[in-house]
A and B are shown apart, each in its own frame.
Chain A
Amino acid sequence: MTSAQRAGTLAVAAGPFRALLGATGADDLLAWLALELGHAGAIDEWVDYGKGRTKAFAPETILHVVSGNTPHAALQSIVGGLLLGSRNLVKLPRGGIAEIGDFVTRLPEELRAKVQTAEELPPGWLAEAEAVVVYGSDETVARFRGLASPSQIFIGYGHKASLGVIWDDPHFVSCDGAARDASLFDQQGCLSPQVFYVRDTPSGFAREYAEHLASAMDRFNRTHPRGPLTTEEKAAIANLRAAYRFRAAGDLRVALWEGGANLDWTVVYEEDAWFPASPLNRVIFVKPLPEGLPSSIGPASEYIGAVGLFPCTEELADRFAALRPSRFCAIGRMQDPHWTWHNGGVPRLASLVKWVDFES
């Protein structure tokens, strides 16, 4: 199969997952290849490169270690591997990922044969892989990095957290988008914002924004209810609410909005800039935007995945570039990265291939 044929087939199989994957037409996939490899057919044929020619060689076999809380990341990883023509060994979390099984059954036989899944890592998979891609906690990434050999390509996607910056929104038009960003996937993904920093102009605006965001969270929840919670997750949210309830009783710089007895959503307004501990699952903090955002938010500044902006301008992105996210985007689109997104700051396809040059 050529890259174009694989793109066409993958586009059909990925069609039903558009909500998770975004635009997945054959053209989108080929454009992704062309952008990262310089030519959509760079895997199939020699292409011009400087004074000579070059060809990209995809790994024979890729081991994907994926986490269950972000099925879209797992799907994207497999789609990328298949697009390159590699064989894909997928280590799933315990309990599997329903979307992966569904996607694989939709593949034609030739591509289906290139995907194997397992919930326990079979002996030999790691050694067999030419490239290893790991999504998970820092500990998981470090463990696999330690196990991989120096000759293997290793790409690890560890802990990340995201935030939003509301720079100028006097009419609160970004609130619905912010609620969507903070609610989709129940904040389990690295693109999920945990804090919105709001420019407090005029004074008191950030608190007012929190109140509007709470209404938006409630509206979103009515059409997109939160997923089930474990007892531990319930306890974590309930404990956080109790702690902020206590603080709000005696401190006007703190406020709390609670959605429903089922812990549907929680908005906390707090004046200090520290990026706080969040139990996730639709618990979102709103804080006045401090001077010098990176240095004010604490150790979290080293782990920022995406920054949502309102308005979304390059000028604002430059202003917050010191956060070193791998993505600036519009509030409301934080969960919809382009296929071409440099996740972790690296090109996802280009990082997997090896180039062979031909000089006549």
Chain B
Amino acid sequence: MQEEAANPEAQVLSWIRGDRRAEFGDAALQLHACHFRHNTPYRLFCEQQGVGESVKSWRQIPCVPQEAFKHADLRSFPAGQTAKTFRTSGTTGEGFGQHHFRTLEIYETAVREGWRLAGMPRGPFLVIAPHPDEAPHSSLSHMLGVLAPRESFIAPQGVIDLARLSSLGEPVCLLGTALGFLHLFESMDRQKISLRLPSGSCAMETGGYKGSGRTISRADLYALFGNKLGIDPADICNEYGMTELSSQFYARGPRGLHRGPFWARAVIADPVTLEEVGEGETGIVLIYDAANVGSVVGIRTRDLAIKRGDAFELLGRDPAALPRGCSRSADEWFGA
């Protein structure tokens, strides 16, 4: 039986901050044991899978489907101790997913350390996304609020302050969603504004286009950054994260591969057997996130990727949105 850590939050926090005495596998197994004992929906799921409290390898930890956060209270601590709940973008009828936290210290530390370890820019930042006060349930807004001060948010109520962008005297790092940047570029077109940001400027974009009815390849989006702002596509990063996780994976440039921090693992797996696929093969993305102390370690995402060594090439954020001819999938109505 795995020993349940006396204070898993303190141990994980210390580990993320650089105490390398822990190993990923040990941490993940201890968390699994803790979650098994304190998280009833998770325990039922494990038992259904024939998995007990004790497993030999972190790869044996069951991956909870992302959608489960919509239907179950995946909380490994008493509800009364909840400090924060992030929600997925809700859709009428199908509800929204919720990720509960007893403390945000681990989440915020993981954001900062993950950013630093990935060699991401130090700033100054300009953020094209809602401030956490405007979107208190958005994990993305919270993450951006951890990285950038309040005055960096230049799109209050969804209106982008183009004057701020036009008057920059030093290089800047833009942070925002891919959709937010598309809106920026369209605003610039409408107002016939052409900008060249100071040399050395860069950007980090994240998120897909679900529900928007729009799609654009990463290469085309990055080309727009070049055309509209003068940012070299090689200086643009993509963040792969989700409400159900506490950690992020980053890729640089239009063909960059995603990598995560040492406390998280991505496995590209066959969707049926969940065995890891071979090099260059396509599978679904399984994430094992040891910073998910208060929920579950293993998440089965809906995303597809190609295995590239110890990294992965993301193929898209919504593989369920398949062309279906005249047979309409509800996804298309719900924009889910």
Interface residues of A (CB under 8 A from B): 67-70, 73, 135-139, 157-161, 187-190, 192, 194, 230-239, 242-243, 245-251, 261, 263, 274-280, 298-300, 303, 305
With A188-B324, A194-B327 given, name 7 new contacts (CB 8 A). A161-B327, A161-B329, A245-B48, A249-B48, A250-B72, A251-B71, A274-B94
Chain A residues with Cβ below 8 Å from B334 are 277, 299
User: B92 at interface (Cβ–Cβ under 8 A)?
Assistant: yes
Q: Provide the bound-state CA to CA distance between A275 and B44, in Å.
A: 27
CB distance from A129 to the nearest CB of B (A): 20
**Partner-contacting stretch, out of B5-13, B62-70, B126-134, B141-149:** B62-70
Q: In the complex, which of the residues A68, A69, A274 contacts B93, with contact meaning CB atoms closer than 8 Å? A: A274
Q: In the complex, which of the residues B47, B300, B322, B330 contacts A249, with contact meaning CB atoms closer than 8 Å? A: B47
CB distance from B260 to the nearest CB of A (A): 21
Q: Are A233 and B327 in contact (CB under 8 A)?
A: no
Chain B residues with Cβ below 8 Å from A251 are 71
Q: In the complex, which of the residues B94, B283, B329 contacts A279, with contact meaning CB atoms closer than 8 Å? A: B329
Q: Across the two chains, which residue of chain B brings its CB closest to A279?
A: B320
Residue from the set A192, A194, A242, A263 with the largest chain B CB neighbour count within 10 Å: A242
Known: A238-B284, A249-B47. A67 touches B330 (CB 8 A): no
CB distance from B99 to the nearest CB of A (A): 15
Q: Are A190 and B327 in contact (CB under 8 A)?
A: yes
Chain A residues with Cβ below 8 Å from B44 are 249-250
CB distance from A335 to the nearest CB of B (A): 12
Q: Are B336 and A137 in contact (CB under 8 A)?
A: no
Q: In the complex, which of the residues A135, A233, A247, A263 contacts B325, with contact meaning CB atoms closer than 8 Å? A: A135
Interface size class of B (residues with CB under 8 A): 35 or more
Q: Across the two chains, which residue of chain B brings its CB closest to A162?
A: B327
User: B230 at interface (Cβ–Cβ under 8 A)?
Assistant: no
Chain A residues with Cβ below 8 Å from B336 are 277
CB distance from A255 to the nearest CB of B (A): 12
Residue from the set B45, B304, B328, B331 with the largest chain A CB neighbour count within 10 Å: B328
CB distance from B317 to the nearest CB of A (A): 12
Chain B residues with Cβ below 8 Å from A303 are 328, 333
Contact bitstring B38-51, A, C-beta under 8 A = 1, else 0: 00110011011000
Q: Are B68 and A246 in contact (CB under 8 A)?
A: yes
Q: Are A249 and B45 in contact (CB under 8 A)?
A: yes
Contact bitstring B265-284, A, C-beta under 8 A = 1, else 0: 00000011000000000111
Chain B residues with Cβ below 8 Å from A138 are 328, 332
Contact bitstring B83-111, A, C-beta under 8 A = 1, else 0: 00000000011100000000000000000
CB distance from B287 to the nearest CB of A (A): 14
Q: Are B330 and A278 in contact (CB under 8 A)?
A: yes
Q: In the complex, which of the residues B65, B330, B333 contacts A239, with contact meaning CB atoms closer than 8 Å? A: B65
Q: Are B45 and A277 in contact (CB under 8 A)?
A: no
Known: A234-B272, A277-B336. A69 touches B330 (CB 8 A): no
**Shortest beta-carbon contacts, A-B, top 9:** A159-B328, A238-B271, A277-B330, A69-B325, A67-B325, A243-B67, A249-B48, A235-B271, A190-B326
User: B18 at interface (Cβ–Cβ under 8 A)?
Assistant: no
Q: In the complex, which of the residues A69, A230, A239, A245 contacts B327, with contact meaning CB atoms closer than 8 Å? A: A69
Residue from the set A139, A239, A274, A300 with the largest chain B CB neighbour count within 10 Å: A239
User: B319 at interface (Cβ–Cβ under 8 A)?
Assistant: yes
User: B323 at interface (Cβ–Cβ under 8 A)?
Assistant: yes
Q: Are B304 and A232 in contact (CB under 8 A)?
A: yes
Q: In the complex, which of the residues A137, A238, A246, A261 contacts B45, with contact meaning CB atoms closer than 8 Å? A: A246
User: B112 at interface (Cβ–Cβ under 8 A)?
Assistant: no
User: B196 at interface (Cβ–Cβ under 8 A)?
Assistant: no
Q: Across the two chains, which residue of chain A brings its CB closest to B47?
A: A249
Q: Provide the bound-state CA to CA distance between A274 and B330, in Å.
A: 10
Q: Are A232 and B326 in contact (CB under 8 A)?
A: no
Q: Provide the bound-state CA to CA distance between A239 and B319, in Å.
A: 10
Q: Provide the bound-state CA to CA distance between A278 and B333, in Å.
A: 11
Chain A residues with Cβ below 8 Å from B319 are 232, 235-236
